[in-house]
Amino acid sequence: MIDQDVLERVLGVAARGGADFAEVFVEDKRSSSAVLDDGRVEELTSGRDRGAGIRVVAGESTGFAHTADLSEAGLVAAAAIASEAARAQGSGTREVALDADTAPRPNVVRILPGDVPKARKVELLTRADHAARAQGAAVTQVMARYSDSRRRILVANTDGTLASDDQVRTVFSISCVATGDTGMQTGRETLGHTVGFELFDDHDVEELAARAAQRAVTKLAARPAPSGQMPVVIGAGGGGVMFHEACGHGLEADLVAKGASVFRDRVGEQVASPLVTLVDDGTMGGEWGCFAIDDEGRPAQRNVLIQDGVLVDYMWDGLRARRAGRPSSGNGRRQSYQHLPMVRMTNTYLLGGRGDADSIVADTPSGVYIAHLGGGQVNTATGDFVFGMTEAYLIEDGRITEPLREGNLIGNGPEVLRNIDAVAADFAMGPPGTCGKDGQGVPVGDGVPTLRVHGLTIGGTAA
Partner 1 sequence: MANHDDDPGALLALAEQVAGWARDDEGVEVVVGHSRETEVRAYDGEIESFVASESRGVGIRVVQGSRQGFAWAGSHDLDVLRETLAEAQDNARFATEDPHVGLAEPDGVAPVALELHDGRLDSVPTERKLQLALELERCILAGDPRMAGVESADYSDAVSVAAVVSSTGIRALERDSVCSLSAYSLAGDGDETTTGFGFSVARSPEDLDLEACAADAVDRAVRLLGAGRMPTGRLTVVLDPWVTAQLLSVVAEAFSGTEVLRGRSWLADRVGEKVAPEWVTLADRPTDPRWIGAASVDDEGLATRTVPLIEAGRVQGFVHDSYSARATGTTSTGSAVRAGHRSTPSAGVRAVVLDPGAAAPARILAEVGEGLYVSEVQGMHSGVNPVSGDFSTGVEGMVIRDGALAEPVREITIASTLPRMLSGIRAVGDDLTPLPLDAAGVTLAIDDVSVSGS
Within positions 85 to 104, which residues make up the interface with partner 1, using CB under 8 A?
Answer: 85-87
Minimum CB separation from partner 1 for residue 403, in Å?
13
Give CA–CA dist 78/12, Å, rounded: 12
If one asks whether residue 183 binds partner 1 (CB under 8 A), the answer comes out as yes
Q: Answer whether 231's CB lies under 8 Å from 366's CB.
A: yes
Query: CB within 8 A of 36, min separation 6: which ones?
Result: 42, 122, 125, 126, 128, 129, 142, 143, 144, 145
Handedness of CA 187, 191, 197, 199 (dihedral sign): negative
Q: Does 386 bind partner 1 (CB under 8 A)?
A: yes
Q: How many chain residues are in contact with partner 1, going by CB under 8 A?
A: 84
Cα–Cα distance for residue pair 384/141, rounded to 1 Å: 36
Helix (H) or strand (E) holding 372: strand 366-378
Let me know the angle formed at the C-alpha of 322 by 319 and 326, rounded to the nearest 5 degrees: 125
Q: Which residues pair with 396 in a beta bridge?
A: 366, 399
Selected binder of partner 1 within 197, 385, 393, 427 (CB under 8 A): 385
Stretch that binds partner 1, among 6-14, 31-39, 305-313, 327-335 (CB under 8 A): 31-39
408 belongs to the binding site for partner 1 (CB under 8 A): yes
Q: Does 377 bind partner 1 (CB under 8 A)?
A: yes
Contact between 81 and partner 1 per CB under 8 A: yes
Q: Per CB under 8 A, does 116 bind partner 1?
A: no
Cβ atoms of 79 and 86 closer than 8 Å: no
What is the bridge-based pairing of β-strands 342-343 and 347-350? unpaired
Shortest distance, position 338 Cβ to partner 1, whole Å? 6
Enter the DSSP assignment of 377.
Answer: E
Q: Report which of 241, 301, 269 is spatially closest to residue 432, judged by C-alpha positions.
A: 241
Residue 407 CB, nearest distance to partner 1 (Å)?
Answer: 4
**Window 324-363: residues binding partner 1 (CB under 8 A):** 338, 340
**Residues in 156-175 that interact with partner 1 by CB under 8 A:** none
Query: Which of 111, 116, 177, 400 touches partner 1 by CB under 8 A?
Result: 177
| 260 near partner 1, rule: CB under 8 A | yes
CB of 41 to partner 1, least distance (A): 4
Residue 258 binds partner 1 (CB under 8 A)? yes
- CA quadruple 128, 129, 134, 136: dihedral, nearest 10: 130
Smallest gap from residue 190 Cβ to partner 1 (A): 14
Of 33-41, 164-172, 267-275, 422-430, which part binds partner 1 (CB under 8 A)? Answer: 33-41
Among 4, 46, 102, 434, binds partner 1 (CB under 8 A): 46
**Which C-beta is closer to partner 1: that of 33 or that of 307?**
33
Residue nearer to partner 1 on the CB measure, 226 or 352: 226
**Which residues, 6+ apart, have CB-to-CB distance to 79 below 8 Å?**
10, 11, 13, 14, 22, 24, 54, 56, 65
- The answer to the question of residue 181 lying near partner 1 (CB under 8 A) is no
Q: Least distance to partner 1 from the beta carbon of 453, Å? A: 14
Nearer to partner 1, 63 or 106 (CB): 63
DSSP state of 206: H
Question: Which 423-462 positions form the footprint of partner 1 (CB under 8 A)?
Answer: 438, 457-461
CB of 108 to partner 1, least distance (A): 28
Strands 407-412 and 399-404: unpaired
Q: Which residues pair with 61 in a beta bridge?
A: 58
Instruction: List the Cα angle 26/4/9 in 5-degree steps.
Output: 90
CB of 351 to partner 1, least distance (A): 25
User: Under a CB-based contact definition with an 8 Å cutoff, are residues 56 and 14 in contact?
Assistant: yes
CA-based torsion, 134, 136, 140, 143: positive or negative: negative
Which residues in the 280-319 window bind partner 1 by CB under 8 A?
A: none
Contact region for partner 1 (CB under 8 A) — 44-52, 100-108, 343-351, 391-399? 44-52
Amino acid identity of 274?
P
Q: How far is the CB of 55 from partner 1 (least distance, A)?
A: 9
Shortest distance, CB of residue 167 to partner 1, whole angstroms? Answer: 18
Query: Residue 60, interface with partner 1 (CB under 8 A)?
Result: yes
Taking contact as CB under 8 A, which single stretch among the options 5-13, 206-214, 251-259, 423-431 is the one that binds partner 1?
A: 251-259
Burial 145-162 (b: 16+ CB within 10 A, else e): bbbbbbbbbbbbbbeebb
Residues 346 and 53: their CA atoms lie apart, in Å, by: 22
Q: Does the protein bind partner 1 through residue 112 (CB under 8 A)?
A: no
Check residue 374 for interaction with partner 1 (CB under 8 A).
Answer: yes
- Kindly tell me which of 84 and 308 has the beta carbon lying closer to partner 1: 84
Q: Does residue 69 belong to the site contacting partner 1 (CB under 8 A)?
A: yes
Least Å from the CB of residue 212 to partner 1: 13
> Least separation, in Å, of the C-beta of 46 and partner 1?
4
Q: Give CA–CA dist 129/304, Å, rounded.
A: 41
